[in-house]
Amino acid sequence: MLETDVVWNRRTADAPILSERAYNLSIGLVLLWGFAVNYITVQSIPVEAILALPSWGLMIGYFVSCLIGISVYTKSDNPAVSFLGYNFVVLPMGVVLTPFIYSFDPEIVSQAMMMTSGFTGLMMCMGTLYPKFFLSLGRTLFFSLIGVIIVEMIMGFVFGVSSSIIDWVVALIFCGYIGFDWARANQIPRTLDNAVDSAASLYIDIINLFIRILSILGRRD
């Protein structure tokens, strides 16, 4: 993942500590904000306007904005600043997702959303029940993701092919990341800033899982 270890190494906090319920609710609300912004973006921005932009410029803008956002929220101890950084990740994601989502049947998109929600809830429960197991998966998940990305790039750019197996593997990796990041979120002090940072990491996991599930369902259809 792109995040540094700044957030996850926190063991003390100067800010007020939230109750477990308030902390988890804060994470949920920040996640819902991100998904709501994505929904509004997909519904309001014409696909034609996005497709008219140079693809290379769109991707560069997307990656630059995400890197800025991740750098801001991982380094800040201020929840308002961290939330601003989170939006630097959320907003370009919605723009990039718009043409991708519109290439699928709405029913398939709905199925992918429901499946993503189900897997997310399941992995969060698993991360709560077995935190030590998921916390031990960090290196495995990271190197697995790097390896599969390299394989996917070689298959796409060199051989010009794509494989549903890759989608399944990446979906499985991000299921693991949801459990991993949820377990990590509950290992750090329950401050509002840490709730925002944790939600941002989970948002990236969930969006990537959704993209892969949508790709899998689209191939099946």
Residue 8 forms part of a structural domain: no
Residue 15 forms part of a structural domain: no
With a pLDDT cut of 70, the percent of the chain lying above it is: 95
Tell me the pLDDT band of 1, cut-offs 50, 70 and 90: very low
Residue 9 forms part of a structural domain: no
Cα separation, 42 vs 51, in Å, equals 13
Tell me the pLDDT band of 190, cut-offs 50, 70 and 90: very high
pLDDT score recorded for residue 5: 56
pLDDT higher than 60, residue 135: yes
Residue 1 forms part of a structural domain: no
Supply φ then ψ for residue 64, to 5 degrees. Answer: -65, -45
Residue 111 forms part of a structural domain: yes
The mean pLDDT of 39-54, rounded to a whole number, is 92
Give the ranges where the chain is alpha helix by DSSP (H): 20-44, 47-51, 55-75, 79-101, 106-129, 131-135, 138-153, 164-185, 192-220
Residue 161 forms part of a structural domain: yes
Residue 221 tokens read as 């259809």
Residue 83 forms part of a structural domain: yes
Crossing angle between the packed helical segments 192-220 and 79-101, to the nearest 10 degrees: 10
Residue 53 forms part of a structural domain: yes
Domains in the chain, number: 1
Averaged pLDDT score across all residues of the chain = 92
pLDDT higher than 60, residue 3: no
Cα separation, 89 vs 93, in Å, equals 6
pLDDT score recorded for residue 198: 97
pLDDT score recorded for residue 161: 66
pLDDT higher than 50, residue 157: yes
Give the domain extent around 24.
20-220
Q: What is the pTM of this model?
A: 0.92
* Better-predicted residue by pLDDT, 3 or 30: 30
